[in-house]
Amino acid sequence: MSAVDQIRVDAQAALKDGDRKRASALRMIQDVLQQETKLGKGDEIGALQRERKKRMEAAEAFADAGRYEQAEDERFEAELITAYLPAQLSDDELAEMVREAIAETGATEPKQMGQVMGMLKEKVAGRADGKRVSTEVKSQLGA
**What CATH number should be reported for the domain holding residue 121?**
1.10.10.410
What per-residue confidence (pLDDT) applies to 108?
Answer: 84
Domain of 98 in residue numbering reads as 91-141
Residues 72 and 36 placed together within one structural domain of the fold: yes
What per-residue confidence (pLDDT) applies to 143?
Answer: 63
| Identity at 24, one-letter amino acid code | S
Residues 68 and 109 placed together within one structural domain of the fold: no
113 alpha carbon, distance to own chain's centre: 23
CA torsion through residues 70, 74, 77, 82, sign: negative
Boundary (domain end) residue, out of 82, 108, 133: 82
Residues 46 and 100 placed together within one structural domain of the fold: no
The count of structural domains within the chain is 2
Residues 23 and 70 placed together within one structural domain of the fold: yes
Do 141 and 110 contact (CB within 8 A), yes or no? yes
**What CATH number should be reported for the domain holding residue 73?**
1.10.1510.10
**pLDDT by 10-residue block (mean), the chain, 143 residues:** 85 93 92 82 80 93 95 94 87 90 86 87 82 89 76
Residues 28 and 53 placed together within one structural domain of the fold: yes
Say how many residues make up the chain.
Answer: 143
What does the alpha-carbon distance between residue 58 and residue 110 come to, in Å, rounded to a whole number?
35
What per-residue confidence (pLDDT) applies to 42?
Answer: 66
What does the alpha-carbon distance between residue 70 and residue 124 come to, in Å, rounded to a whole number?
32
Residues 46 and 75 placed together within one structural domain of the fold: yes
